[in-house]
Amino acid sequence: MATTLAAVSPLLIVLGLTALLRRPAHLASLSGLAATAVLLLAVPAFATGPDGWGRASAAAALITLSAAAVILPGLYLNQQLARRKVDRTLIEWTRSLPMSPPHKSALVVVALAPALESLTGFGVSLLVTVPLLLAMTDRPTAVKQSLLSMNIMPWGTLGLATIVGSSLAGQPATDLSLATAAVSAGVFPLFGALSAAMVAQQGKRASAVASGALLGGVFSTALLGLNATGVVELAGVGAGITTTAVGLLLFSGRRGIPLPPWEAVRPYALLFGLVALVRLLPAAGVPHDALTVRSGDVSFDVLSSPGLALLATVLILGRGAVDGHLAGQAGRRAWKPVTALAGFTFMAQLMVHSSMVDTIGRALPVTTVLGFLFASVLLGMASGYLTGSGVGGNALMMPLQANVGGQLGQPLLFSAVQNSAAGHTVFASMPIILLTLAIAGEGEKGEDTMLIRYSLAVTVGVYLVLAGGALVLWSTG
């Protein structure tokens, strides 16, 4: 019993720091890492030699490097787009769409916002969705809808959470992404229905809920279809574009549909094309593993990294030059998420290589897939809520979920549950709530408490649809 409590104590420290003391994720990750290191030195059952420390360090470094290669150019691109006022152009275009408020709200929440967040990440889509929704409805409704728009996290930042999760779980990214899409299928209809219902007129709520759920269903179907073809990085944006087109055709009537301005579309189209080009390099005879760095089961494929497309995009938009001011801004925004990821990843790898994860797994009172499935969803949701990031949530909890899943003969299922649950709970985390309110500007006293209560209430529905999706995947797999 004492050994089990010691093994789980780093996770409890992270829980206490983030949920109770509301400390930022990067500080919580470093504290959890320090606690893990002390336990390895002080508890004989967890002792590991220099080889274990070395393998854990190398694996954590590779995973962090692969994520940083996407995060840094991604944040730089965000700064470029802000300078070009792309967000304002997209806001004006969306406001001009000839659609009713419920249809437009659902379109923003389960189509436009996921597509933008897939290409950029780190909550950048909120720069568009928050002011847009504020212009469409009252403030309390708009900020709630803005939280719901943060729903694409397993495929946000060009699928970064899924790519990192696949490395941690030892599963191919394409398999993990497809299984995650199956688990997540009910989330988008739920969020589409909620967003449409908020602005529906009296007596028309049922039709608004149906139309919002329909758009969410289109998104889920497109996401499954794209993942079935092996697309990971562009699955979110592809599903968003598809849902936007279907929504415009279904709900704009016979009125003309204004095309989005090319100056706003061009950067995203360029990035989309470059990511697709990177995916096609092996077909052109360039082996994707030509510049691969490996450490055990973990690898970083430089030529298949979305960071390569992001870097090329920022250089093309900057005409080959790097702006020092924008680079500095990107660096200042990047160090906290990169530090949090490094801390959680190193902590998790040490727990794996020191048998701490095995100890926790053996102590869990489950012996069947069904018995662990409902707890697995809760563990995944807790990791996304605590870290405020799908990537951080996977770094924290994926080794445990994959380990227990392997013992039960279903490693892919439980890896997908972790990836999905962590990503779809980020919307309720304090970092996202605070970012939403910061973009919205000063509001009424207690608004943050209202959003916390609302988001936590919605997570009940998220739990139910994720558990249902996991059951369907297990029963059909």
Domain range for 163: 2-476
Can you give the pLDDT at residue 210?
96
CA torsion through residues 157, 163, 168, 171, sign: positive
Can you give the pLDDT at residue 197?
95
Can you give the pLDDT at residue 423?
95
Can you give the pLDDT at residue 296?
66
Cα separation, 351 vs 46, in Å, equals 8
The first and second tokens of residue 470, run together, are: 């996991």
Q: Which residues of the chain have pLDDT under 70?
A: 253-256, 282-290, 295-297
- Strand partners for 298: 295
Angle at 244 between CA 186 and CA 420, to 5 degrees: 30
Can you give the pLDDT at residue 397?
87
- Select from 225, 166, 219 the least CA-distant residue to 418: 166
The reported pTM is 0.85
Cα separation, 378 vs 391, in Å, equals 17
Q: Domains in the chain: how many in total?
A: 1
Cα separation, 45 vs 4, in Å, equals 10
CB neighbour class for 257 (10 Å; exposed up to 12, middle 13-18, buried from 19): middle
Can you give the pLDDT at residue 236?
94
pLDDT tens for 331-344 read 888 888 888 888 88
**Residue 153 and residue 235 in contact, taking contact as beta carbons nearer than 8 Å:** no
Can you give the pLDDT at residue 104?
92
DSSP code for 100? -
pLDDT tens for 48-67 read 888 889 888 888 888 888 88
Can you give the pLDDT at residue 467?
97
Cα separation, 7 vs 389, in Å, equals 23
Cα separation, 412 vs 175, in Å, equals 8
Can you give the pLDDT at residue 113?
93
3-state secondary structure of 321: coil
Cα separation, 388 vs 430, in Å, equals 7
